[in-house]
Amino acid sequence: MYDLALVLFDMDGVLVDTIPPLKQTYLNVARHLGVKQPSEQELGKVMQIGPGKALKELFGEDVTEIKATFNRHWRTNIDTVPCFEGVTEMLKSLSSSGITLGTVTSRNSLDTYSLLDAAGIRTYMQIIVTWGHYRVAKPSPTCLMVALSRTDKPPNMTAYVGDQAMDMLAARSAGVLAVGAIWDANASEDDLRKAGADVIVKEPKEILALALKT
């Protein structure tokens, strides 16, 4: 157990599972273009890259002409995003125990609030930091420093929960506990450990054991 007063979370792959609605959006784009729909293998290869690169990779089209189609379908599909199993219960327990919660994500503010609202967990987030607040990509700790500046909680009483190596590197640079979450299928325990994860958690409820006195 650690003496934690603040727990920050990456969003995609940790709090919400954006893979299903994102895949559906690419299928919607293919249908709109009247082309063969991407295979599951093709979709899997573009899940970790931005929509601009993914659209070009999948369709070889002028992205500027189909980005509007992508955005229109994404705004609809985003409403179906689910939390990972056990996340809501974990957030509720942490919040009711007086621990401050927040999310630090590379998504824009519109997507971030839409995803948190769709998943029904925005109410738990006292701190929300999005790409527009820092604009320096991880592994820079800038995003976490912005979050820390919004609270009086010190780094040594803070944890950042992420599913990618860049999250762990940013956490360590910020001086906070680096917690690697591997309940998403795209997370790699080996990569997280190599990046310096202090702790690996396989289920959301394991975070309670880290943070709460029992």
Q: Which helix (DSSP H) or strand (DSSP E) does residue 190 occupy?
A: helix 189-194
3 state DSSP class of 4? coil
Structure tokens at 156: 């040594």
Instruction: State the pLDDT at residue 2.
Output: 86
Radius of gyration for the alpha carbons in the chain, expressed in angstroms and rounded: 18
Q: To the nearest whole percent, how much of the chain has pLDDT over 70?
A: 99
Residue 157's pLDDT band (boundaries 50, 70, 90)?
A: very high
Q: Would you say 158 and 148 are in contact if contact means Cβ atoms under 8 Å apart?
A: yes
pLDDT at 61 over 90: no
| Per-residue pLDDT reduced to its tens digit, 69-128 | 999 999 999 998 999 999 999 999 999 999 999 999 999 999 999 999 999 999 999 999
Q: Is 196 left (phi over 0), alpha (psi -120 to 50) or beta?
A: left
Instruction: State the pLDDT at residue 213.
Output: 64
Instruction: State the pLDDT at residue 50.
Output: 85
Instruction: State the pLDDT at residue 34.
Output: 92
Better pLDDT: 13 or 62: 13
Instruction: State the pLDDT at residue 63.
Output: 77
Rounded distance between C-alpha atoms, residue 192 and residue 179, angstroms: 9
pTM of the model: 0.92
Q: Domain 6-17+82-211 has what CATH class?
A: alpha beta
Q: Average pLDDT, stretch 124-148? A: 96
pLDDT at 1 over 80: no
Rounded distance between C-alpha atoms, residue 159 and residue 62, angstroms: 41
pLDDT at 38 over 90: yes
Please report the DSSP string for the chain in residue order. Answer: ----SEEEE-SBTTTB--HHHHHHHHHHHHHHHT-PPPPHHHHHHTTTS-HHHHHHHHH-S-HHHHHHHHHHHHHHHGGGPPBPTTHHHHHHHHHHTT-EEEEE-SS-HHHHHHHHHHHT-GGG-SEEE-GGGT---TTSTHHHHHHHHTSS--GGGEEEEESSHHHHHHHHHHTSEEEEE--STT--HHHHHHTT-SEEESSTHHHHHHHS--
Q: Given the structure tokens 């701190």, which residue do they identify?
A: 127
Q: To the nearest whole percent, how much of the chain has pLDDT over 90?
A: 87
pLDDT at 132 over 60: yes
Average pLDDT, the chain: 94
Residue 71 half-sphere exposure toward CB, CA atoms < 13 A = 10
